């Protein structure tokens, strides 16, 4: 990947990690103050809300004749405000990374031009797999129509929001890495059912539409990253089911099962050329190829756990 793009990605990652760290610190402070969410005499809740957690997800990404899968470990944080269970506003951030297995055609979407392929025998003998980075953030706000019935033990928020998400993948021996960026707009149902004084059931269902880009970048490629970027669009679904266990006046422990599906359109056809001065192992100097990132389907399946207030 180019040094400029690498620095930009590193800055985004550091910003997100800083946000999650900020949420961790602020959550611990707010949870111990009168500003933390509390239950009113009516049964409604009001005040600051927040979560800090870790997660493990199995990621399956299929693009044309290629498939990537692996375990993604992540940290996440949420901070917001609940107003008497009538309305709420939330900000969230997450960062994850992991190694992946790569099956089928690789590099993804490449068609050879001329007699010389992009990759040589060193790639085939030493290629072991790759790695991916997945991070993003979102903001959402919603209204609880069940508040009309004063059924505070069964809040059901209808939320509208926006999300930004990055998925970058590559391997050290590949001529290029790919980064998928999407900006999603979503509508969701976000509800809870308080089972007793200790246990609460929570659930979520979301539909989103996506617009974004697929970028191809490599240190040995003569074309710039801007020349190798394509506009894409798509849609997706997310479902969650979890529990909360009350640990004190303002704190609880939560577990949550998550399932996310995303369908994205194919990118444009781009021609790449490896520099004649390239000495990268596994790559043939001077080789050319047409690259068109195929339509892709991505599924995240995982478990999230942590503490909230």
**What CA–CA distance (Å, rounded) separates 283 from 276?**
11
pLDDT, tens only, 181-190: 999 999 999 9
As a whole number, mean pLDDT of residues 60-87 equals 94
Q: Which two tokens stand for residue 239?
A: 């479902």
Query: So what's the pLDDT on residue 2?
Result: 42
User: Structure pTM?
Assistant: 0.85
Coil, strand or helix: which one is 34?
coil
Q: Number of folded domains in the chain?
A: 1
Query: So what's the pLDDT on residue 226?
Result: 85
Kindly indicate the confidence band of residue 116, based on its pLDDT and cuts at 50, 70 and 90: confident
Query: So what's the pLDDT on residue 3?
Result: 43
Query: So what's the pLDDT on residue 263?
Result: 98
- 22 pLDDT exceeds 90? no
As a whole number, mean pLDDT of residues 20-29 equals 58
Structural contact between residues 158 and 142, judged by C-beta atoms closer than 8 angstroms: yes
Query: So what's the pLDDT on residue 33?
Result: 54
As a whole number, mean pLDDT of residues 226-245 equals 96
Looking at residue 17, what DSSP letter applies?
H
Q: Which two tokens stand for residue 95?
A: 């960062």
In DSSP terms, 252 is beta-bridged to 246, 308
**Of all residues in the chain, what percent carry a pLDDT higher than 90?**
61
pLDDT, tens only, 191-235: 999 999 999 999 999 999 999 999 998 888 999 888 899 999 999
pLDDT, greater one: 159 or 131: 159
The per-residue pLDDT of the chain, averaged, comes to: 87
Structural contact between residues 82 and 37, judged by C-beta atoms closer than 8 angstroms: yes
As a whole number, mean pLDDT of residues 69-88 equals 94
Return all residues near 6 (Cβ < 8 A) that are at least 6 apart.
none
Q: What is the CATH number of the domain that holds 10?
A: 2.40.128.100
Taking the CA of residue 61 as centre, how many other CA atoms within 13 Å lie in the half-sphere pointing to its CB? Answer: 27
Looking at residue 274, what DSSP letter applies?
B
Kindly indicate the confidence band of residue 72, based on its pLDDT and cuts at 50, 70 and 90: very high
Structural contact between residues 70 and 56, judged by C-beta atoms closer than 8 angstroms: no
Range of 66-70, 156-160, 165-169, 194-198 with top mean pLDDT: 156-160
**Of all residues in the chain, what percent carry a pLDDT higher than 70?**
84
Could you list the residue range(s) of the whole structural domain that residue 257 is in?
3-308
pLDDT, greater one: 44 or 267: 267
Taking the CA of residue 85 as centre, how many other CA atoms within 13 Å lie in the half-sphere pointing to its CB? Answer: 21
- 173 pLDDT exceeds 80? no
- 36 pLDDT exceeds 70? no
Low-confidence winner among 45-59, 120-134, 165-179, 255-269 (lowest mean pLDDT): 120-134
In DSSP terms, 304 is beta-bridged to 55, 256
């Amino acid at each position: 990947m180019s040094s400029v793009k690498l620095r930009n990605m590193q800055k985004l990652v550091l910003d997100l990690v800083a946000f999650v760290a900020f949420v961790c610190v602020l959550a611990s402070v707010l949870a111990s103050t009168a500003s933390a969410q509390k239950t009113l005499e009516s049964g409604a809740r009001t005040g600051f809300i927040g979560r800090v957690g870790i997660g493990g997800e199995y990621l399956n990404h299929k693009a044309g004749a290629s498939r990537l899968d692996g375990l993604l470990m992540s940290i996440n944080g949420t901070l917001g405000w609940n107003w008497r269970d009538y309305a709420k506003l939330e900000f969230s951030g997450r960062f994850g990374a992991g190694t992946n297995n790569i099956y089928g055609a690789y590099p993804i979407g490449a068609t050879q031009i001329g007699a010389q392929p992009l990759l040589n025998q060193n790639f085939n003998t030493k290629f072991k797999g790759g790695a991916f980075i997945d991070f993003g953030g979102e903001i959402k706000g919603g209204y609880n129509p069940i508040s009309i019935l004063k059924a505070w033990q069964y809040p059901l928020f209808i939320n509208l929001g926006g999300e930004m998400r990055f998925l970058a993948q590559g391997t050290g021996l590949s001529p290029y890495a790919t980064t998928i960026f999407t900006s999603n707009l979503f509508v969701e149902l976000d509800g809870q059912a308080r089972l007793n004084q200790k246990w609460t059931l929570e659930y979520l269902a979301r539909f989103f539409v996506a617009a974004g880009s697929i970028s191809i970048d490599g240190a040995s490629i003569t074309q710039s990253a801007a020349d190798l970027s394509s506009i894409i669009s798509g849609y997706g679904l997310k479902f969650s089911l979890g529990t909360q266990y009350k640990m004190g006046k303002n704190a609880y422990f939560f577990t949550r099962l998550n399932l996310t599906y995303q369908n994205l359109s194919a990118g444009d056809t781009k021609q790449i050329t490896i520099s004649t001065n390239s000495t990268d192992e596994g790559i043939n100097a001077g080789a050319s190829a047409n690259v068109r990132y195929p339509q892709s389907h991505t599924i995240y399946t995982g478990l999230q756990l942590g503490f909230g207030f």
